[in-house]
Structure 1
Amino acid sequence: MRLLQLVSPALPVGAYTYSQGLEWVVDCGAVKSEAQVGEWIGDALAGAFGGYELPLLARLQDAWRAGDDGQVAALNARCLASRETSELRAETVQMGYSLVRLLVDLPAFAEQPGWVARLKAVDEPAFPTAWAAAAVAWQVPAADALGGYAWAWLENMVMAAVKAVPLGQAAGQRLLSSLAAQVPERVADALQRPPEAWSNFQPGLAIASCRHETQYSRLFRS
């Protein structure tokens, strides 16, 4: 139940206000069909998200679970440094701040000894850092947590496409169904991928985010 709470669209962290550059590629006409949306999101799932953010989240869980707050801080700094544009960095910082504020007010988290102090000790916590703390504090198995985190990201990206392209609700569900089938492989890879093999090298995504920062009219914050 706690994992469902963490991945719910009702989690008040503002995820629905971000598209991570997708809005710009739609606006410029590079992505304008269900198939092209699936290709764009699938590439991100296999690339920067699956190849960097998911394995980072796995190691953050390990560090929180082991009580290694120094490693948590180092991984948090690495997460912030990996954001290639100002809006992508602002996104993870804003969502991290909102999640921390929520967690310290939730008895299910705040009443567990030491967790509030540990979380508040992290300087400028990124969203994966705060999210991993909640998953570990609530004893969510690592693989389940990674799968849930990936699902929440996928759902947000698809819903952004449904609004921006726009696509119908049935198309959104077809995309979720096909993209979710790739998640188990990405989770298995993230659990064993060593830090030296992490990669967020995805120039198209970075360019889209840069261009979105100065887009004349937009619905999303990234």
Structure 2
Amino acid sequence: MSLPLVRLLQLVSPALPVGAYTYSQGLEWAVESGLARTEAQVGEWLADVLAASLACYELPLLHQQIDAWRSGNDARVVELNTLFIASRETAELRAETLQMGYSLVRLLVDLPAFRDLPGWAARLQALVATAGGETAFPAIWSAAAAAWQIDPPDALSGYAWAWLENAVMAAVKAVPLGQAAGQRLLAGLAEQVPAHVTHAMMLPQPCWSNFQPGLALASARHETQYSRLFRS
């Protein structure tokens, strides 16, 4: 097993201390409202988000950020960081990516495997300073992927898997679903990831889109939901 693959496993692990498990990205409201109360409905919801949001916006942007970090184009990293933050339609979604980005910065600059690589900690801290402390999760995650020389297709596949695993586990808790149902969802949705990654890597920026009004409404309504387990 290669070291970059091991590093990727670390980046996508649920043990990564960035608080991803505390967010559902509006799924909890979809469960509460009756839109996602069965295994099939949750699968449909997540497949739509994976196809229309991650594959058409977040993954292409992540790919461009990895490329920018690898090529030394830090100005492009800043530009894409600003763009991603602006794309978060609700206060909860914006707070989520900023909190996770902040947590990952703190981890990486204290992690010898990243900190001791020549120049990388300084570049990361320069991004934080330039962005006024507002760094989105993809901007920081892509820095780790680039520094650890993870191949972009593997990095995007891992990122999509980590999102998917977190989303399914949120559904397991919120619906609730059984563990076997969660594994069926993961197995089925994971089959879609390779095609989405291929699409994302070829998608030019003018074609990027995260137009999902249902997701934005779910997130906005979650902000005033009376009883909730998750922060988004």
Do the two structures share a fold, i.e. TM-score over 0.5? yes
Scaled by the length of structure 1, the TM-score of the pair is 0.99
1:117 equivalent in alignment to 2:127: no
Q: Displacement, 1:64?
A: 0.3
Q: Tell me which residue corresponds to 2:101.
A: 96
1:135 equivalent in alignment to 2:145: yes
Q: In 2, Cα distance between the equivalents of 1:143 and 1:125?
A: 23
Q: Letter of the aligned partner of 1:42 in structure 2?
A: A
Q: CA RMSD in A?
A: 0.5
Q: In 1, Cα distance between the equivalents of 2:214 and 2:88?
A: 14
Q: Displacement, 1:85?
A: 0.4
Scaled by the length of structure 2, the TM-score of the pair is 0.95
Q: Letter of the aligned partner of 1:163 in structure 2?
A: K
Q: Letter of the aligned partner of 2:183 in structure 1?
A: Q
Tell me, which stretches of 5 or more residues in structure 1 are unaligned? Answer: none
Q: Tell me which residue corresponds to 1:221.
A: 231
**Aligned to 2:87, which of 64, 67, 82?**
82
1:22 equivalent in alignment to 2:27: yes
Q: Tell me which residue corresponds to 1:46.
A: 51
Q: Displacement, 1:36?
A: 0.2
Q: Tell me which residue corresponds to 1:189.
A: 199
Q: Displacement, 1:100?
A: 0.4
1:149 equivalent in alignment to 2:154: no
**Aligned to 2:112, which of 104, 107, 121?**
107
Q: Letter of the aligned partner of 2:95 in structure 1?
A: A
1:159 equivalent in alignment to 2:176: no
**Aligned to 1:70, which of 62, 75, 94?**
75
Q: Displacement, 1:105?
A: 0.5
Q: Displacement, 1:192?
A: 0.8
Q: Displacement, 1:29?
A: 1.1
Q: Displacement, 1:196?
A: 0.4
* Paired residue secondary structure (1:91): helix
Q: In 1, Cα distance between the equivalents of 2:202 and 2:146?
A: 18
1:175 equivalent in alignment to 2:185: yes
Q: Deviations over 1:128-187 (max 9, x none)?
A: 000000000000000000000000000000000000000000000000000000000000
Q: Displacement, 1:13?
A: 0.1
Q: Displacement, 1:67?
A: 0.2
**Aligned to 1:126, which of 127, 136, 142?**
136
Q: Tell me which residue corresponds to 1:209.
A: 219
Q: Displacement, 1:120?
A: 1.1
How many positions carry a matched residue from both structures?
A: 222
Q: Displacement, 1:49?
A: 1.4
